[in-house]
Amino acid sequence: MHAFDVLGDPVRRRILELLAGGEQSSGELTAVIQREFRISQPAVSQHLRVLRDNGFASVRAEGTRRLYAVEPGPLQEVDLWLERFRGFWSQRMDALATELARGKRERRMTKETKDT
């Protein structure tokens, strides 16, 4: 399965977001995903399997618990692929940062004028 096929599913993206905060048990992940997406435990397990089988997540046993963690390799490959497109939005992001700074400066100056 291609990386973007794996990442194209919102449930799998959400699982990776949860794992970005650190290792989590399958039970913890399942509880959040079931609440947010209203899918069954077997469906969550299938998404975890897709992530694991495609190298995006690893699992280790700790007693009866299964702990999942993000594997950075496939995400680094996606990042490398995206690199060639960053120029399209980096200039816009720089322009946005300039406008935000300008607005902040104007608000500060307006406040200073009112305070005096």
The pLDDT, as a whole number, for residue 93 is 74
Quote the DSSP letter at residue 38: -
Summarised one tens digit per residue, pLDDT across range 61-115 is 999 999 999 999 999 999 999 888 888 877 777 788 888 898 888 888 888 877 7
What contacts 24+ positions apart, CB below 8 Å, involve 76-80? Answer: 77/3, 78/3, 78/4, 78/7
Summarised one tens digit per residue, pLDDT across range 12-51 is 999 999 999 999 999 999 999 999 999 999 999 999 999 9
